[in-house]
Structure 1
Amino acid sequence: MSRARDVCSDIKYGEADAMIQKKAKARFEGGTVPSLTDDQAANIVTAVKSSFCN
Structure 2
Amino acid sequence: MEQKKIWAFGGGKGGVGKSFVAGNLGILLAQNGHTVILADLDLGGANMHTWLGV
Higher relative contact order (CA 8 A, sep 6+): 1
Structure (1 or 2) with the larger CA radius of gyration: 2
Asked if TM exceeds 0.5, the reply is no
TM-score by length of 2: 0.36
